[in-house]
Chain A
Amino acid sequence: GAGVSQSPSNKVTEKGKDVELRCDPISGHTALYWYRQSLGQGLEFLIYFQGNSAPDKSGLPSDRFSAERTGGSVSTLTIQRTQQEDSAVYLCASSLGDILQAGNTIYFGEGSWLTVV
C-alpha cells in the first residue's frame, strides 16, 4: 500500500481481555517497528523485525506482550490480560532497510489507540 496501515484505529477493551493490533507495512519494506506512545510521553520502543532475522524483543514491557510477523510482511502485536497501564497509542513503522543506512527513512502508521477500562 501507499503507507503503513494499522488496525483497529481505536480499541476499547475491558481489563483482563486480550487484544490484537495489526500492522501492514509499506510494500517492500523489510524493517518493521512497534512503538508505544503514552499520553504526554515520548515514544517507547517495543520490538523490531528485520527481514528473516530473529526479532529484537528487548523493548517489550512484560511477557503479556508478544508480536509476530508473518511472511515478512504483516505484523500482529498481542497484549494478553490487558491492564489499565497498557492504555496508549501503539505505533507501527516500517523502513526499506536498516535506518542507519543513508537514505533509509522510517515511516509511521496512524497508530492504534488502545483504552483499557
Chain B
Amino acid sequence: GNSVTQMEGPVTLSEEAFLTINCTYTATGYPSLFWYVQYPGEGLQLLLKATKADDKGSNKGFEATYRKETTSFHLEKGSVQVSDSAVYFCALSGPDSNYQLIWGAGTKLIIKP
C-alpha cells in the first residue's frame, strides 16, 4: 500500500542555515505529493504541492521537487528563519489511496537565532 517516510526530528538549525527535510514515498502510479506545515498553536496548512513527476512546488522560500526515479519529495530552503520553526508533514494522494491523504509522521524543525 501507499506510505510516506520522513526523516525523524527534531531537526535543530541555526538561523540562515540550509534546510533539507527528507521525504520518500511508496505508491503505485503517479501520486500527488504535498508538504503541510503546522506552526505552534495553529492548524495544518498547505505549504506546497506537486502533481506530476519533475514538478517543483515552491512557497515562502521552500521548494520540493517530485522525483519519480528516487520516489522522493525532499523539502529544502536556502536560508531558514526562526519563524520557520514548526512541524512539517509530507503527504501523498494517489489512485490507491482514493480520497485519503497518506501522511508522514511529521518532522519538528527548531531554528535557533
Contacts and interface: CB of A to CB of B under 8 A. Distances in A.
Interface in A76-105: 91, 93, 98-100, 102, 105
Interface stretch (B11-19, B60-68, B70-78, B99-107): B99-107
Interface of A: 4, 31, 41-43, 45, 48, 50, 56, 91, 93, 98-100, 102, 105-111
Contacts of A100: 32, 93-95, 98-99
B43 A111 contact: yes
Question: Most chain-A CB neighbours within 10 Å: which of B44, B100, B105?
Answer: B44
Question: Most chain-B CB neighbours within 10 Å: which of A31, A56, A102, A106?
Answer: A106
B43 A110 contact: yes
B20 interface: no
Given A43-B101, A43-B103, 13 more contacts: A41-B105, A42-B103, A42-B104, A45-B100, A50-B99, A91-B44, A99-B32, A100-B32, A100-B99, A106-B46, A108-B36, A108-B43, A108-B44
Interface of B: 32, 36, 42-46, 49, 51, 89, 93-95, 98-101, 103-106
Contact of B89 (A43, A45, A107, A111): A43
A107 B34 CA distance: 12
Contacts of A110: 42-43
A81 B100 CA distance: 28
At the interface, is chain A mostly helix, strand, loop or mixed? loop
A115 to B, nearest CB: 16
A1 B106 CA distance: 28
Nearest to A59: B100
A41 to B, nearest CB: 7
A108 B100 CA distance: 14
A74 B94 CA distance: 27
Contacts of B44: 43, 91, 93, 108
